[in-house]
Chain A
Amino acid sequence: MAALIDADRAALWADFMRLCSTNKETFGAVTKADIRAAVDAADTWADSNAASFNAAIPLPARTAFTARQKAMLLMFIIRRRYEIS
């Protein structure tokens, strides 16, 4: 999967700020532009490292799982590791 298009990154950026606001998770000394830069960088990193993650999944799951299932697996791991609800 390619990196997200600009509109998707912008929507994600807005959702992230809205959710952090709802959860009262203080941003610290960062502005909207700083957060947008972080979104862009994180998406670029995810795109650049997708193959590496895929290679880390052992067979037979690597070939049996769909790309969506692998993404869900990663999402579940991150949610549990960082207690994100």
Chain B
Amino acid sequence: MARTLYSFTAFSFVPTTGTFPDSVEYHTAEHRKALAYDASAVEIAAVDFVAPQGLVTPLTVVLTFAMAAATTGNVVLGAAIEAVSDGDSLDLDSATSFDTNNASAATAVPATAGFPKQVSITLTNNDSIAAGDKCRLRIQRDGAAGTDTAAGDLYLTDVELRDSG
């Protein structure tokens, strides 16, 4: 079983340490919005949430994307969790506690630019997330990875966070 804990649109995300992907309207007439992840760098965006009561790990994140111009090659995405508990010794003014990035497999892009694709990443590294934690979910494209071969921007449109409950 899996339950949707949260779903986020691209514009739910805010910058964190690292380069933030451009916010774009990739279908201007329909005002469809996305984060445009560069092909040649690591770009990072994060979104805040509170870990809901009753959550069951492992968590999974499902990323929906489309390619701007590529019709061949692979992309490598990643997700990381920061979970801050009541009383943690973490200075939120100056420090972070993101767990290790959970990288996707190299995922083939759709053969037509603009077609949607979903990639699922199990958050094995989850910073010991527990109900009530103040959390951030960080999404990145590892454009600098040798296995990320697809050219041009990746449009991240939606993110779903699931648990195993």
Contacts and interface: CB of A to CB of B under 8 A. Distances in A.
Contacts of A27: 69-72, 151-152
B68 A24 contact: yes
B36 interface: yes
Given A24-B68, A27-B70, A31-B72, A10 B40 contact: yes
Contact of B149 (A10, A21, A24, A32): A32
Contacts of B38: 14, 17-18
A35 interface: yes
Contacts, number: 66
Contacts of A25: 69
B42 to A, nearest CB: 12
A14 B40 contact: yes
Contacts of B131: none
Contacts of B71: 26-29
Nearest to A20: B69
B73 A21 contact: no
Interface of A: 10, 13-14, 17-18, 20-22, 24-35
B13 to A, nearest CB: 19
Nearest to B111: A29
Interface of B is mostly: loop
Interface string B27-64: 00000000010111100000000000000000000000
A28 B5 CA distance: 38
Top 6 A-B pairs, shortest CB-CB distance: A21-B68, A21-B153, A21-B152, A14-B40, A31-B149, A31-B73
A21 B69 contact: yes
Among B40, B72, B114, find the residue whose CB has the most chain A CB atoms closer than 10 A.
B40
A20 B149 contact: no
Contacts of B39: 14, 17-18, 21, 32
A35 B68 contact: no
Contact of A35 (B41, B113, B151): B151
Contacts of A24: 68-69, 113-114
B10 interface: no
A35 B113 CA distance: 17
Interface string B13-35: 00000000000100000000000
Residue in A14, A27, A33 with the greatest tally of chain B CB atoms within 10 Å = A27
A42 to B, nearest CB: 15
18 contacts: A14-B39, A17-B151, A18-B152, A20-B152, A21-B36, A22-B153, A24-B114, A26-B69, A26-B70, A26-B71, A27-B70, A27-B71, A29-B72, A31-B72, A32-B73, A32-B148, A32-B151, A33-B149
